[in-house]
Chain A
Amino acid sequence: GAGVSQSPSNKVTEKGKDVELRCDPISGHTALYWYRQSLGQGLEFLIYFQGNSAPDKSGLPSDRFSAERTGGSVSTLTIQRTQQEDSAVYLCASTPTEYNSPLHFGNGTRLTVT
């Protein structure tokens, strides 16, 4: 079956612009995660959605970052007024449930802020 799909695969934007990154999880997976992978650093948890529960936003680095998940499926991560330090690969993952289920990742969106 189809895996986790992310778009765009690459995004170059000017500092100060807003960007939207999209994630389409595996059908039937109730849990969805966004991670950020910066050069030389490990994966950084950003936000988590589980079913209809309130999202866990504890990993979002600033109020310029937000995310939503519509209909329990597709998720959009929005970064407003992008900064150069936002340049990274943004990875989306989904799991059937949360606890210790292996993550199924998409290919990521490489964001470059110039």
Chain B
Amino acid sequence: AQKVTQAQTEISVVEKEDVTLDCVYETRDTTYYLFWYKQPPSGELVFLIRRNSFDEQNEISGRYSWNFQKSTSSFNFTITASQVVDSAVYFCALTPNAGNNRKLIWGLGTSLAVNP
């Protein structure tokens, strides 16, 4: 089965706290791509990162970092020193095999509220 699970439905933190959003996936394919998208209150999903299954290096982009672990089928997302502007729904997604946006499998999202 192909599946993406974001177990945390809602998270609430206070500004400047670090927060990790979990993403666990299931796939039979050896080649696949993982994505994170952010959906702020305006509604427009914004691409954050893409990772292919052969690249397990963690990535850091400013306050954002991603931890990809094939051994646990997880692709977790950490925001360091969270800010109010980080408040959004975050989606993890998987596209199996060679990658095809029509086959994207989406998690249900984690709603993050960062309070001042």
A: which residues have CB within 8 A of B? 3, 31, 33, 40-43, 45, 48, 56, 58-59, 89, 91, 93, 95, 98-108, 110
Contact = CB atoms under 8 A, between A and B. Distances in A.
A98 B102 contact: yes
Interface residues of B, number: 25
Contacts, number: 64
Contacts of B52: 100
A100 to B, nearest CB: 3
Interface of B: 4, 33, 35, 37, 42-47, 50, 52, 91, 93, 95, 98-102, 104, 106-109
Contact of A100 (B45, B50, B107): B50
The 6 closest A-B pairs by CB, nearest first: A100-B99, A42-B106, A102-B47, A105-B45, A43-B106, A107-B43
B101 A105 contact: no
Contacts of B99: 99-100
